[in-house]
Amino acid sequence: MVTLLKADLKTKINQLWDRFWSGGMSNPLTAIEQISYLIFMRRLEDLDTQHQQLAELKGEPYTSVFAGHEDCRWSSWKHLPAQQMLDHVRGKVFPFIKEIRRGEDTQFAEYMKQATFLIEKPSLLQEAVAIIDELNITSQNQDVQGDLYEYLLSELKTSGKNGQFRTPRHIIRLMVGLVSPKLGEKICDPACGTAGFLVNAYEHILKTNTSPDLVKEDEEGSPTHLIGDKITDKRHWDFLRRECLHGFDFEPTMVLIASMNMILHGIEHPNIRRMDALSKSFSHAGQYDVVLANPPFTGSLDTSDLSESFRTPTTKTELLFLELFYNLLAMGGRAAVIVPNGVLFGSSKAHQQVRKLLLEQCSLDAVVSLPSGVFQPYSGVGTAILVFTKGGETKEVWFYEMQADGYSLDQKRTLLDGKGDIPDILQQFKTKSPSPKSFLVPVQQIKDNDYSLSPPQYREVEHEEIEHQDPNALIDDILKLEDDIVKGVKDLKEMIK
């Protein structure tokens, strides 16, 4: 987490942002994309060196990925004069990393077919290369590598668009904790953005398979030192790093950023694909044990390419995504997803049909209302977390109304304790016991109310008993008060004579 970054590393990342901003690249998404290319260039040589040394130790042959392209090594051009560096990177290095396609250490290149090098100022490239070189990313431990990139991604808070914005990490950890993914399960986020859900699901699995005395947490609850020492079977490691996590996004920039985020968190083979999960070409029904997502709530929808598998009569993406989540899950699979509050109480046929699906074809395990400030500063929309299990039977629904998430709920989102109601939610979810902030509602009551999942419609209002004073006694008190006032005025008059 950001708070774990050493001050000098954090300072260098801030310097990197300042260079791009002053260099005319003020769009955070574009800047992170270009920074990711440079990080990959640096990391590619570091990994190639590591693999070569490992092969030598094993006495095995090794062919460098730079064979025939030695001038594309980071170390061969990082000290060039500014204009010469720009010409070399733009003309040779960038085309090279777009074309390499073999070996474990080149996996990231798969996502760069549509990449474009946008750095035009020689001085910006030279300064950025110097800072990234000083970060020495590969030599950092896995925690710091991931934290460095997460800190870079934190700047995306200013670029929410088309209903897309980063979900706060502590909210992601809450959702991951509610479904508690296990080793051996396949996990999907069909609108993955920067891959925050997938990274945290990976960390959750590592944490549950790391000896408790080794795990540490920062003040915001982010776990570190997750070595997975309890995972002793190589096949389990291979599954976790190659087959467990799957993400999809329709924006090529997000696919690249998500892939880099996962790579720097220790997942060298991220299964991130550029694909519109609502389109006809997307076919992954019944393949996943866990779905975690915060899909876009608004945006254009190409109805001509909309998958014919949908049965919900709507073009609203938030409703279509809910049906998609249901379709993606294997029987018995679990989901924790964020929806706008309108999904909970919308009166249209499509709204009711989707809620009916969750209540009658699933076990709707929880509706957790989030404070409207959770997604500040880029959105004040009211949202809720839905937790459900495909194929179960809903008997009653547990509602929890979160009042605090550990940060101020204004534009600044100042850290308070970083936890708020989150520990209480995770603890209460285990038993679903009623409390001052939670309550249970029988499913039949919900069905009788047009399948509405709006908490205020079911919350019991406690009426405080008010004791009314006897009217005659009240009149006597008023007359006495009046007498006291008159006496006081007379006393004052005597004093000023």
Residue 8 and residue 35 in one domain: yes
Task: State the greatest distance between any 2 C-alpha atoms of the chain, in Å, as a whole number.
Answer: 115
Query: What is the 3-state secondary structure of 118-136?
Result: CCCCHHHHHHHHHHHHHHC
- Rg of the Cα atoms in the chain: 28
**Which residues fall within 8 angstroms of residue 335, CB to CB, at 6 or more apart?**
179, 290, 291, 292, 293, 325, 326, 329, 386, 387, 388, 389, 390
Q: Is the residue at 479 inside a domain?
A: no
Q: Would you state the structure tokens that stand for residue 356, as one six-digit string?
A: 């009916």
Contact 98, 115 (CB under 8 A): yes
- The model's confidence at residue 43, banded by pLDDT at 50, 70 and 90, is confident
Q: Would you state the structure tokens that stand for residue 92, as one six-digit string?
A: 């040779």
Residue 230 and residue 251 in one domain: yes
Residue 372 and residue 351 in one domain: yes
Taking alpha carbons only, the member of 448, 452, 398, 408 closest to residue 428 is: 398
pLDDT of residue 157: 59
Q: Is the residue at 410 inside a domain?
A: yes
Q: Is the residue at 94 inside a domain?
A: yes
| Per-residue burial over 235-265, b = 16 or more CB atoms within 10 Å of its CB, e = otherwise | ebeebbbeebbbbbbbbbbbbbbbbbbbbbb
In three-state secondary structure terms, 387 is strand
Q: Which residues pair with 435 in a beta bridge?
A: 438
Does residue 263 have a pLDDT over 80? yes
Q: Is the residue at 494 inside a domain?
A: no
Residue 128 and residue 227 in one domain: no
| Domain C-terminal end among 154, 182, 208 | 154
pLDDT of residue 368: 98
Residue 120 and residue 169 in one domain: no
pLDDT of residue 487: 67
- Residue 218: is it exposed, middle or buried by C-beta count within 10 angstroms (0-12/13-18/19+)? middle
Q: How many domains does the chain have?
A: 2
Q: Is the residue at 383 inside a domain?
A: yes
Taking alpha carbons only, the member of 272, 268, 241 closest to residue 254 is: 272
- Cα 39 from chain centroid (whole Å): 22
pTM of the model: 0.83
- Report which residue type is found at 41: M
Residue 120 and residue 178 in one domain: no
Report how far residue 205's alpha carbon sits from residue 352's, in angstroms, rounded to the nearest whole number: 35
Residue 338 and residue 444 in one domain: yes
* Range of weakest confidence among 307-321, 398-412, 475-489: 475-489
| Domain C-terminal end among 154, 182, 204 | 154
| Domain C-terminal end among 154, 181, 207 | 154
Residue 67 and residue 23 in one domain: yes
- Report which residue type is found at 131: I
Alpha helices in 113-195 (DSSP H): 122-135, 142-153, 169-179
Angle CA(90)–CA(91)–CA(92) in degrees, nearest 5?
105
User: Can you give the residue range of the structural domain that contains 8?
Assistant: 2-154
Does residue 159 have a pLDDT over 60? no
Query: What is the 3-state secondary structure of 320-355?
Result: HHHHHHHHHEEEEEEEEEEEECHHHHCCCHHHHHHH
Q: Residue 277 belongs to a domain with what CATH number?
A: 3.40.50.150
The DSSP output letter for 451 is: T
pLDDT of residue 105: 41
Contact 263, 149 (CB under 8 A): no
pLDDT of residue 432: 93
Contact 150, 2 (CB under 8 A): yes
Q: Strand locations in 234-287, DSSP E?
A: 245-249, 271-274
pLDDT of residue 251: 85
Residue 133 and residue 224 in one domain: no
pLDDT of residue 54: 79
- The model's confidence at residue 160, banded by pLDDT at 50, 70 and 90, is very low
Residue 133 and residue 179 in one domain: no
Calculated CA dihedral for residues 221, 222, 227, 232, nearest 10 degrees: 70
Q: Is the residue at 194 inside a domain?
A: yes
Does residue 413 have a pLDDT over 80? yes
For the segment 54-67, what is each residue's pLDDT rounded down to a tens digit? 788 888 899 898 99
Contact 432, 401 (CB under 8 A): no
Number of alpha carbons in the 13 Å side-chain half-sphere of residue 258: 30
In the block, tokens 């989102």 appear at 413
Q: Is the residue at 470 inside a domain?
A: no
Q: Would you state the structure tokens that stand for residue 197, as one six-digit string?
A: 């859900």
pLDDT: which is higher, 1 or 462: 462
- The model's confidence at residue 161, banded by pLDDT at 50, 70 and 90, is very low
pLDDT of residue 461: 59
- Strands 288-293 and 329-340, by their bridges, are parallel
Q: Would you state the structure tokens that stand for residue 241, as one six-digit string?
A: 């790093």
pLDDT of residue 3: 44
Q: Would you state the structure tokens that stand for residue 78, as one six-digit string?
A: 């990082």
Contact 171, 405 (CB under 8 A): yes
Q: Which residues pair with 398 in a beta bridge?
A: 366, 440
Residue 193 and residue 229 in one domain: yes
Angle CA(291)–CA(295)–CA(298) in degrees, nearest 5?
160
Report how far residue 492's alpha carbon sits from residue 121's, in angstroms, rounded to the nearest whole number: 84
Residue 399 and residue 303 in one domain: yes
- Cα 198 from chain centroid (whole Å): 8
Contact 288, 277 (CB under 8 A): no
CA 270, 276, 282, 285 dihedral sign is positive
Q: Is the residue at 469 inside a domain?
A: no
Q: Residue 64 belongs to a domain with what CATH number?
A: 1.20.1260
